[in-house]
Amino acid sequence: MIARLTGRLAAVHADRVTIDTPGGVGYEVMVPAGVIERLGPAGGEVTLATELVVREDGWTLYGFGTEAERRFFQRLTTVSGVGPKLALALVSALGLERGARALRDRDVVTLASVSGIGKKTAERLVLELAEKVGDFVGDGGGAAAPAPLAGGARAARQALERLGYSPAESDRAVRRALTESGAPADADGTEPLVRRALQLLTHG
C-alpha cells in the first residue's frame, strides 16, 4: 500500500497532479480541488497522504493534503454505491469539515448538491455515516456546529461558487459577511452578502 508520497510537483491538471519522486518514478495522483489550491505552482516539493485503489481495470492513486482527509475518503467508500470517484467528488465539493458536518447533521440537501450524488445516495450516506464522522468535525464534539446556510445566505454561497471560488472559500466568506452584519445563517438579502463576501475574498 502507498500511504504517503513525497516528491517534486511536476504537473497540475484539473483533477490530478503528477509527482516525480527522487527515485525517478513519476506518479499520477487524483486529488480533490481543495488540495490543488493548496499545493501551489509546479516545481515545488509536496507530500500527499495517499490511497491506492486497485480494480480489475487498473490501479488509481488518490492523494490528500492531510491524513484526516484520506481517512474521510476511506470512510465514504465504505458506503454501498459510493466508489472512489464519487467520494473524491464529495471531498472536492464540500471539503473535510463541511462534508462531515453535512453527514453528522443529516443535511441531505447539501450532500445531494454534489455532482453525481442524488437524493437517494445522499440519504444512504447519512443513514450509514451520520454517527461515524464526529471525529472529522473540528469542534471537539463540545461546541455546536455552525447552522447550515439557508435562504439568501445559501444563494450567496452558490453565487460565489459560480464565480469560480471553491465551496470552502465561499462558505467562509459568506459566514464572515453574516457575522459582520449580525445576521443569522438563514438571512435574506443575497446581493449585499455577495458584495461583502467578494470584498473579503479580494481584500481579506
pLDDT of residue 138: 65
- Domain architecture of the chain: domains with CATH: 4-64 (2.40.50.140), 67-136 (1.10.150.20), 151-203 (1.10.8)
Question: Would you say residue 47 has pLDDT above 80?
Answer: yes
Helices 167-181 & 96-104 angle (0-180, nearest 10): 70
pLDDT at 171: 79
Tell me which residue has cell 438563514.
186
Report d(CA 76, CA 72) in Å as an integer: 6
Can you give the pLDDT at residue 184? 66
pLDDT value, residue 183: 67
- Lowest-confidence range among 19-33, 48-62, 84-98, 166-180? 166-180
**Which of 127, 38, 44 has its CA nearest to residue 80?**
127
112-119 mean pLDDT: 92
Strand ranges inside 13-134, DSSP E: 16-20, 26-30, 45-55, 58-64
Residue 142 confidence (pLDDT) above 70: no
Q: How far apart are CA 100 and CA 115, in angstroms?
A: 17
Q: Tell me, what's the pLDDT at 181?
A: 75
Q: What is the pTM of this model?
A: 0.66
